[in-house]
Structure 1
Amino acid sequence: MFQLHPQLEADTIMLGDFPLCRLLLMNDAAYPWFILVPRRTDIREIYELDDADQAALLQESSFLARRLTAVFAADKINIAALGNLVPQLHVHHIVRYRNDAVWPAPVWGQAPARAYTPRELAAMLLKVGLVLGEGTEMVNDHEESEKRT
């Protein structure tokens, strides 16, 4: 049964599930930063997913990146699956702007995370609704989605 790694659980806000991936928001208000985690057990690398899940991950990642670019007017979306510290496959999707604090450097290790205030989180969740939009196959009942994995 799928379980989210404790570090991801501690550092993120759960938004919902796509058909394959759990969608998380990194609790760092410095950047619109989203994470997709395939709901599969004991997977550390993309190549460990079967072909159908690899295709689904690419589809969900591409959908998310397109929508983030549109809604946030991003200059760039950084997409990465590092996993050096968290040994569960997860794919970061970070909205970047040419005028952000560390452009063009990667965001990792630049500054401590700054958690969302309640007001910032409410505003972000409104934007998340725009990102997901109509027609997104999100599974809201997580217990039901777990039965499929």
Structure 2
Amino acid sequence: MGETTAFQLDDRLARDSHPVSRLDLCELRLANDSRWPWLILVPMVADAVEIHDLREGDQLALARETAKVAQLLKKITGCTKINSGALGNVVRQLHVHVVARNEGDPGWPGPIWGHGKAEPYDEADRQKLIGAIRESL
């Protein structure tokens, strides 16, 4: 897998999300916005900005981990649709968003980015969701 010795999580990702688990390649985090169940996979590879910056094996591992996280998020939430993407326009460090969406949620059917203001989780709800994710992993 990727080299993790020099990996350092971007400050903004650390500030705006909570740790959930470490996968083989990625650190899995929960975005601190309760409007959508929203997970973030961050490959633990120093200086990775784009998916093509990863070695081929790590690209495949990222695809597998993204699919696994998407499947478990859909199962846990019963959502209508999973949105996933790696944008990186604000935070350059490579990370993949996996978001559970439902018809009628804030911003549906548009993208979540730039829609309103984040609504942080309360401690109990955050811990409950993180526990369900960890159990499903």
| Same structural fold, with TM-score higher than 0.5 when normalized by the shorter chain | yes
The corresponding residue for 1:14 is 19
The corresponding residue for 2:3 is none
The corresponding residue for 1:101 is 106
Measure how far apart 1:119 and its partner are: 2.0
How much is the aligned-residue C-alpha RMSD, in angstroms? Answer: 1.0
**2:36 alignment partner AA:** Y
**1:22 alignment partner AA:** E
Measure how far apart 1:37 and its partner are: 0.4
The corresponding residue for 2:8 is 3
Contact 2:20–2:134 (CA under 8 A) maintained in structure 1? no
Q: Secondary structure at the match of 2:18?
A: strand
Which ranges of structure 2 fall in alignment gaps of 5 or more residues?
A: 1-5
Measure how far apart 1:125 and its partner are: 2.2
Measure how far apart 1:67 and its partner are: 1.2
Aligned length: 132
The corresponding residue for 1:45 is 50
For each residue in 1:63-101, what CA deviation from the matched residue of structure 2 results, as whole angstroms up to 9, or x when unmatched?
111111111111111101000010100000000001212
Measure how far apart 1:105 and its partner are: 0.6
Identity %: 39
Measure how far apart 1:129 and its partner are: 3.0
Match runs of 1:1-149 below 5 Å: 1-132=6-137
Q: Which has the higher contact order (CA 8 A, sep 6+)?
A: 1
